[in-house]
């Protein structure tokens, strides 16, 4: 065997594994944000490889908006059981029921996730919180460090980030503060899909083309549900679609697609002229700086 330049995916994988092991070595109570979406699924897969043959030394945290796709919740529970992991759930519905949070007029619950998330981090005293955020997703995320220090209110201050040099990550923090950790920072959407294909990772079925009842709102195909759709003026039709991202039903749109295999999905994404968030996320269109504003408040 002779030395060669590692493939693009090998290099990304090694970098992410290095980050997982740094956190395991430096922090007391790390947790992985796990939504059942493809990025968090890849994160968990990398964590499993990083500590093999031992188990992952982290628990999982899901922020449940109450409007999740049933296929995704089912996937989440199967994965947790299969790997003997501990799952924490922060429930947006619970906060609404208690009157702490109020439903927004547009029915979108993504911005409501911040409070349950940050309170759960405080209550469980998590000191490192892994997120699947990628810098290619959005212009505010492009500014994010791999280790991102958050104060006791989970706030992100982009002007006061620590310089981050070489692969030396500084995770020191005061009690009450925590560090958001982004092992997939340097991955693109296409890298994620190519890695899923290479590693043969199982995904929730909604990522592949299937026939589903949908209706159109603001140019996106949404799934009908108790969350508030369709309205009287909106009509439901059956279309062949798939999802590029997985999130709250009220703001995650499906795309027309006949890609039923990983190979077909990769071909479709490589040819797409839309970013995944532009194609399927309503919440980022709320304002020019929607993501930055949410991140400042503690969103992941």
Binding site for other proteins (CB under 8 A): 1, 3, 5-11, 13-15, 17-18, 21-22, 24-25, 49-55, 135-136, 138-140, 142-143, 149, 158-159, 161-168, 170, 172-174, 185-186, 188, 194, 272-275, 278-279, 288-289, 292
Task: Tell me whether residue 61 or residue 269 sits nearer to other proteins (CB atom).
Answer: 269
Task: Tell me whether residue 103 or residue 177 sits nearer to other proteins (CB atom).
Answer: 177
Task: Tell me whether residue 124 or residue 164 sits nearer to other proteins (CB atom).
Answer: 164
Task: Tell me whether residue 105 or residue 163 sits nearer to other proteins (CB atom).
Answer: 163
Residues contacting residue 125 through CB under 8 Å, at least 6 positions apart = 29
Distance from C-alpha of 63 to C-alpha of 91, rounded to nearest angstrom: 6
Q: How far is the CB of 69 from other proteins (least distance, A)?
A: 23
DSSP state of 288: T
Q: How far is the CB of 13 from other proteins (least distance, A)?
A: 7
Residue 294 exposed, middle or buried by CB count within 10 Å (0-12, 13-18, 19+): buried
**Residue whose tokens read 């919180």:** 129
Residues contacting residue 202 through CB under 8 Å, at least 6 positions apart = 75
Q: How far is the CB of 72 from other proteins (least distance, A)?
A: 24
Task: Tell me whether residue 120 or residue 294 sits nearer to other proteins (CB atom).
Answer: 294
Q: How far is the CB of 110 from other proteins (least distance, A)?
A: 18
Distance from C-alpha of 187 to C-alpha of 135, rounded to nearest angstrom: 8
Task: Tell me the backbone φ, ψ of residue 168, rounded to 5 degrees.
Answer: -95, 105
**Tokens of residue 215, six digits:** 């209706």
Q: How far is the CB of 142 from other proteins (least distance, A)?
A: 4
């Amino acid at each position: 065997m002779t030395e060669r330049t590692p493939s693009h995916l090998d290099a990304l994988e090694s970098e992410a594994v290095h980050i997982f092991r740094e956190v395991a070595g430096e922090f007391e109570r790390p947790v992985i944000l796990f939504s059942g979406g493809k990025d968090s699924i890849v994160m968990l897969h990398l964590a499993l490889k990083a500590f093999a043959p031992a188990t992952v030394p982290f628990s999982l945290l899901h922020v449940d908006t109450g409007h999740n796709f049933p296929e995704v919740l089912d996937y989440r529970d199967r994965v947790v059981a299969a790997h003997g992991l501990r799952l924490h759930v922060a429930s947006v519905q619970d906060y609404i029921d208690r009157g702490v949070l109020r439903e927004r007029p547009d029915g979108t619950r993504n911005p409501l996730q911040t409070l349950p998330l940050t309170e759960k981090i405080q209550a469980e005293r998590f000191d490192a919180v892994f997120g699947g955020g990628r810098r290619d997703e959005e212009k505010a995320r492009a500014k994010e460090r791999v280790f991102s220090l958050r104060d006791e209110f989970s706030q992100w201050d982009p002007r006061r980030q620590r310089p981050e040099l070489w692969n030396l990550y500084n995770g020191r923090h005061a009690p009450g503060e925590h560090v958001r950790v982004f092992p997939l920072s340097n991955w693109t959407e296409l890298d994620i899909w190519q890695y899923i294909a290479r590693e043969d990772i199982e995904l929730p079925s909604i990522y592949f083309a299937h026939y589903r009842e949908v209706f159109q709102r603001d140019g996106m195909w949404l799934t009908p549900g108790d969350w508030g759709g369709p309205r009287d003026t909106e009509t439901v039709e059956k279309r062949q679609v798939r999802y590029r991202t997985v999130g709250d039903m009220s703001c995650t749109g499906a795309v027309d697609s006949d890609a039923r295999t990983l190979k077909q999905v990769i071909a479709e994404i490589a040819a797409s002229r839309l970013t995944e968030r532009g194609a399927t996320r309503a919440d980022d269109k709320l304002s020019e700086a929607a993501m930055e504003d949410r991140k400042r408040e503690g969103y992941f």
